[in-house]
Structure 1
Amino acid sequence: MTTASEIHGRSAEGHQDAGEAVSARHHWRLADIDYAHIDHAAVAQDEDMFYLLMSASFVETGSDTYAANLGAHYARYPDIQQWLEDRWEHEELQHGESLRRYVETVWPSFDWQKAYDSFFAEYSLLCTQEALLEDPRLEMVARCVVETGTTAYYHTLRALSNEPVLTGLLGHIRNDEVGHFKHFLAYFKSLQAQEPVGRLRIAQALYSRLKELRESDSDVALRHVYAHKGELFSDRQRSFDAVAQRIYHLISTGLPAQLAVQMLLKPMLLPPKLESCLHRPISRLACRMLAY
């Protein structure tokens, strides 16, 4: 299990070191996931997990569009661009493919492709260069916020899982997101060392991206999953508002607050004593704003 101390501990001082450290570690493959041994009885009737996993599979599958924009944004930094294209995009798409295979195995009557196409028609309009922060240092800060959110999301889903194959898969994805956070943080530190940006602007970038998580990609995905669920769970007659409220409650109450706060404070590069003083108020803010 990933702990706050692991995030708080060792991180690369330069982005090349970070890349080398992560590249040296064996990365999981789709072939490592034993889909044939999914315990259908443990998950097939779990409506909450249906919405959570389907939504995640949509967002991860659409990540190549976002990755292309981000790669172009860092064209002036070839090592960053290369990592984004060779590692980050590949791993995000693997998340999408692995989740799609899982949900299609458990809920084969759901027309995944039709629902995804509907989702992507809306989602793709949000994936623009204009949505990125112009300052490359501050966009790295924003990336740290997003990776904090995804780490917390998959950490919570893993805790909710009662199905062994799913638990293992979610653990792999969560660990990837932690690795992505460490990369973005290391890249930020490197850019910051070359030309520092003030803490006030860093804090503003953190807060701005936290606010955006309230109207996140997951919300768009959830609406399209609900709209295409057909007869699945039709016996429960729940409105979309009721489904959304239930899902957001599950995520917010299961949020690993200490882990999230440790990650969110990292880009501020604060002295340890000041970071400790800010932990409690930031924790309250994070619990409100990371509640998807």
Structure 2
Amino acid sequence: MHRETGHVLPWRIEDIDLAGIDRERATANEELLLLLCASSFMESGTHLYASDLSAYFDGDTEVVAWLNDEWKPEELQHGRALKMYIAHVWPDFDWDKAFANFFDEYSTLCNAEAFEKTRALEMVARCVIETSTASLYRAIGKWSNEAVLKQIAGNISADEVRHYKHFLSYFRKYNAIERNGRLAVLVALVRRLVEIKGEDSDVALRHVFAMRYPERGGDSAHNRKIAVRINGQVRRNLSAEMCVKMLLKPLGLPARIVPGVQYPLEKLFQHVFFREYR
């Protein structure tokens, strides 16, 4: 149970056997651990974005209550679980210092100007984010051969799918009022999809690299090579078809049209999701 809200979390960190982590298997996959660190930073910074999102939906008690009482606590638990995993596998990694450095920069990037112009379209954008994170953690689970991480990744992915369903239902609620056409919905979807592998994730990876490889002094060529390899592994373990099926739902397309739209959108998803770390 989350202490502040009384919300019963769907799973608990206390029920994960962190002592049972196979450190030899985990440490053998350096690139996966780098990705986990970056993901833990993004998840642990949720409270900053959540406050802006709650302000955007101010006045809708149902949405604001769900964001603050369920979505935010669950996202923050993701960050704590990944942090604890890293602590067991890389005990010398100064997660707190690296996160503080990341957050100093990340906090300057979060602002209300990034939101869509209407509430329905912002819910579409949130569907894109939840689709990508659910897919990422599913890919992490397939990539890893360490049982505890597979469990954590599975838990997080299931949470993100459930969050997606909430945002999709809220989109439908708002769009019944706003009546955005499919073109407007598609534009919002593609816009957020293009932004999804943007500055925020670059910042997270950069601070992970800085803490893990201090002797490299921010060697961008070294970092880029690692990021390309990470992206390649995620690509091999991620189902673009599954992602696109989730992304198409807000469009409400007739069944006969879906096959014609799905393939080009899969290619777009693969291109923007896996473009190189800069």
For the criterion TM > 0.5, the same-fold answer is: yes
Alignment correspondent of 1:178: 161
8 Å contact from structure 1 (residues 148, 181) kept in 2: yes
SS of residue matched to 1:220 = helix
Q: Answer with 85-94 or 241-250: which moved more.
A: 241-250
Aligned with residue 169 of structure 1, among 152, 157, 161: 152
Pairing 1:229–2:212 present: yes
Amino acid at match of 2:223: F
- Counterpart pick for 2:105 among 107, 122, 139: 122
**Using the alignment, how far apart are the partners of 2:222 and 2:260 within structure 1?**
42
1:177-218: per-residue Cα shift (whole Å, max 9, x none)? 000100000000111112311111111101110110131522
The AA in structure 2 aligned to 1:245 is: V
CA offset digits 1:58-112 (Å, max 9, x no partner): 0000011001110111012110011000000000000001110110111011111
- The aligned counterpart of 1:104 is 87
Matched, 1:285 2:268: yes
CA distance in 2, matches of 1:123, 1:25: 29
1:36 aligns with 2:19: yes
Identify the structure with bigger relative contact order (alpha carbons < 8 Å, sequence gap 6+).
1
Deviation digits for residues 244-286 of structure 1, max 9, x if unmatched?
Answer: 1111222223221111010110111111111232111111111
Identity of aligned residues (%): 42
Equivalent pair of 2:124/2:168 in contact (CA under 8 Å)? yes
Kept after mapping to 2: 8 A contact 1:74/1:136:
yes
TM-score, reference length from structure 1: 0.87
Q: Which residue of structure 2 aligns with residue 80 of structure 1? A: 63
Per mean C-alpha deviation after superposition, the further-off stretch among 207-216 and 79-88 is 207-216
Q: Which runs of 4+ in 1 moved over 3 A?
A: 23-26, 230-233
Summarize the Cα distance change of 1:187–1:223 in structure 2 as closer, same or farther, 3 Å threshold. Answer: same
* 1:198 and 2:166 correspond: no
Aligned to 1:138: 121
Alpha carbons 1:110, 1:229 under 8 Å: kept: yes
- Give the partner amino acid of 1:51: L
Q: Work out the CA distance in 1 between the residues paired with 2:180 and 2:24.
A: 53
Q: Distance in 2 between matches of 1:216 and 1:199?
A: 28
Alpha-carbon distance in structure 2 between the residues aligned to 1:156 and 1:124? 28
For residues 59 and 259 of structure 2, what CA distance do their matches in structure 1 show? 36
SS at the partner of 1:273? Answer: coil
- Does the aligned pair in 2 maintain the 1:155–1:256 contact within 8 Å? no
For 2:274, what is the secondary structure of its paired residue?
coil
Q: Does 1:239 align with 2:222?
A: yes
Distance between the aligned counterparts of 2:88 and 2:134, measured in 1? 24
Q: Give 5+ residue unaligned stretches, structure 2.
A: 1-5
Match of 2:143 among 141, 160, 182: 160
- Residue of structure 1 equivalent to 2:3: none
Q: Give the Cα–Cα distance (whole angstroms) in 1 for the partners of residues 119 and 271 of structure 2.
A: 27
Secondary structure of the 2:130 match is: helix
**Corresponding residue SS for 1:66:** helix
**Aligned partners of 1:206 and 1:253: how far apart in 2?**
24
Q: Distance in 2 between the 1:116 and 1:286 partners?
A: 28
**Cα distance between partner residues in 1 of 2:182 and 2:199:** 25
Q: With the length of structure 2 as denominator, give the TM-score of the two structures.
A: 0.91
Alignment of 1:254 onto 2:240: no
- 1:178 maps to a residue whose letter is V
**Residue type of the alignment partner of 1:64:** H
* TM-superposed deviation, 1:230: 4.0
Whole-Å separation in 1 of the counterparts to 2:48 and 2:7 = 27
* Structure 1: gaps spanning 5 or more residues: 1-22
Question: What is the aligned partner in structure 1 of residue 53 from structure 2?
Answer: 70
The counterpart of 1:213, out of the listed 196, 203, 211, is 196
